[in-house]
């Protein structure tokens, strides 16, 4: 009986508390209705329509800060640049054409030599002896032939015998010519005029025929070989100027000339080899480039004088298309662009913009068509359409108006 009483009392206590809570809920509901506001959580599930509209009203659009400017009209040139190593087309290794001991070195590295000038001398004792022996053979063959002809005139010998002596004389003369060449080859001579850039041998060394002695370079034959895309082939021609600038030596640059264009396209790279000739000297008489130097070669393929130019930093690329944002009042408007020539900093706008358009130059990343924007200067200070900084009071009024208030209570 005691247990029944306890359970009944606990149930009564819970019922009283539940009614009390329900009463408070009713009071809150009536109060909310009387004030024209929905209860916490809104009407119905999730706040209902009223709650959703209230949440939307509370979302305020934030203006994106942007820097604006205008496109300019001016000249632009389309260029193709490629790195290259400077080399001399006429650069050879001078080798010995005889065997012997080096008896003299006539030049050193850096010396300028003329064509056929002696660079080194080899001992020629053996070659001189062989030349003398060849001379004696020619004299003997000459006497033998003379005597055979005299005998043939008297009928004492045959015509075939005379022909054999003629062949012997001819061979003796050929041998004499070879021996003279061997003697000449003991003097190492420059095949063309140039600069001795390397010396591989010293006086007293014994060299064999074919041994490397010197490297000779013609600095009037310096070239740079570059590889350009085949789409540029129709805009490059022989005789066209090219700017050649050193990668390492600051300020060292010259005007080169397109010397040759390869008649074939490299199928693996889609490029064409272009050979650019360089002057041996730059203004002032100093050497412009040396073989082995690393340089950047730039070819100007096309020029326009009055092009509408837009900085590349203002472009937005999407799905292989280019866009820019212009300003209409306080909104960003997206424009698709058709472009033409371009260089490192600017691109020619062929269609999509006019010179009077106010264009977003910075801050366009992530913008969408129709987005709210706020002009700012280079320091990030908000400015009006004329570039005048907005005062805090002006900012406050603008903010109040964007909230829908008129400044009153």
Structural fold of domain 96-217: OB fold (Dihydrolipoamide Acetyltransferase, E2P) (2.40.50)
The whole-number pLDDT of residue 367 equals: 87
Tens digits of per-residue pLDDT, 129-173? 999 999 999 999 999 999 999 999 998 889 999 999 999 999 999
The whole-number pLDDT of residue 284 equals: 62
Tens digits of per-residue pLDDT, 200-228? 999 999 999 999 999 999 999 999 999 99
Gap between the Cα atoms of 332 and 377, Å rounded: 17
Q: How far is CA 176 from CA 169, 213, 280, in A?
A: 11, 27, 43
Q: CATH number of the domain at 64-75+305-402, out of 2.40.420.20, 3.30.565.10, 3.40.50.300, 2.60.120.10?
A: 2.40.420.20
Q: Are strands 373-375 and 64-69 parallel, antiparallel or unpaired?
A: parallel
Q: Report the sign of the C-alpha dihedral through residues 286, 291, 296, 299, in that order.
A: positive
Gap between the Cα atoms of 329 and 335, Å rounded: 16
What values do phi and psi take at 317, rounded to 5?
-105, 130
CA-nearest of 144, 134, 147 to 167 is 144
Q: How far is CA 321 from CA 40, 335, 351, 369, in A?
A: 50, 11, 13, 15
CATH 2.40.30.170 fits 80-89+218-302, yes or no: yes
CA-nearest of 110, 131, 108, 106 to 189 is 106
Tens digits of per-residue pLDDT, 343-379? 888 999 999 999 999 999 998 888 889 999 888 888 8
Axis crossing angle, helix 159-184 with helix 125-153, rounded to the nearest 10: 160
Gap between the Cα atoms of 68 and 374, Å rounded: 10
User: Does pTM surpass 0.85?
Assistant: no
Name the residue ranges covered by the structural domains of the chain: 64-75+305-402, 80-89+218-302, 96-217
Gap between the Cα atoms of 164 and 229, Å rounded: 67
The whole-number pLDDT of residue 25 equals: 37
User: Mean pLDDT by 10-residue block, N- to C-terminus, for the chain (409 residues)?
Assistant: 38 37 33 42 41 53 88 90 93 95 95 96 94 96 94 91 95 96 95 95 95 95 94 90 87 90 94 92 74 92 90 89 91 92 88 91 88 86 80 47 43
The whole-number pLDDT of residue 52 equals: 43
The whole-number pLDDT of residue 396 equals: 42
The whole-number pLDDT of residue 282 equals: 65
The whole-number pLDDT of residue 58 equals: 54
The whole-number pLDDT of residue 394 equals: 46
Structure tokens at 118: 């002696």
């Amino acid at each position: 009986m005691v247990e029944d009483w306890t359970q009944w009392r606990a149930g009564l206590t819970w019922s009283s508390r539940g009614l009390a809570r329900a009463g408070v809920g009713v009071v809150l509901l009536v109060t909310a209705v009387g004030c024209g506001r929905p209860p916490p959580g809104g009407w119905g599930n999730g706040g209902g329509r009223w709650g959703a509209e209230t949440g939307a009203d509370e979302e305020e659009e934030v203006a994106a800060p942007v820097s604006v400017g205008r496109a300019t009209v001016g000249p632009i040139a389309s260029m193709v640049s490629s790195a290259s190593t400077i080399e001399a087309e006429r650069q050879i290794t001078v080798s010995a054409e005889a065997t012997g001991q080096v008896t003299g070195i006539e030049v050193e590295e850096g010396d300028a030599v003329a064509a056929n000038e002696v660079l080194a001398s080899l001992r020629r004792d053996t070659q001189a002896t062989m030349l003398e022996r060849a001379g004696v053979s020619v004299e003997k063959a000459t006497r033998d032939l003379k005597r055979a002809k005299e005998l043939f005139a008297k009928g004492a010998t045959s015509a075939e015998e005379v022909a054999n002596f003629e062949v012997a004389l001819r061979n003796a003369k050929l041998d004499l010519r070879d021996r003279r060449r061997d003697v000449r080859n003991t003097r190492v001579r420059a095949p063309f005029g140039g600069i001795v850039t390397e010396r591989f041998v010293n006086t007293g060394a014994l060299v064999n025929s074919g041994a490397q002695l010197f490297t000779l370079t013609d600095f009037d034959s310096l070239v740079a070989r570059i590889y350009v895309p085949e789409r540029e082939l129709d805009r490059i021609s022989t005789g066209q100027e090219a700017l050649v600038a050193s990668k390492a030596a600051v300020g060292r640059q010259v005007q080169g000339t397109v010397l040759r264009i390869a008649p074939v396209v490299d199928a693996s790279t889609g490029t064409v080899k272009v050979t650019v000739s360089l002057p041996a000297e730059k203004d002032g008489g100093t050497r412009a480039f040396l073989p082995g130097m690393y340089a950047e070669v730039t070819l100007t393929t096309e020029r326009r004088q009055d092009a509408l130019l837009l900085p590349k930093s203002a472009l937005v690329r999407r799905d292989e298309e280019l866009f820019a944002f212009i300003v209409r009042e306080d909104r960003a408007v997206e424009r698709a662009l058709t472009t033409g020539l371009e260089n490192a900093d600017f691109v020619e706008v062929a269609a999509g913009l006019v010179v009077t358009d106010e264009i977003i130059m910075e801050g366009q990343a992530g913008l969408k068509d129709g987005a709210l924007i706020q002009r700012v200067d280079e320091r990030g200070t908000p400015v009006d359409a004329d570039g005048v900084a907005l005062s805090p009071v002006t900012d406050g009024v603008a903010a109040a108006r964007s909230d829908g208030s008129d400044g009153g209570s």
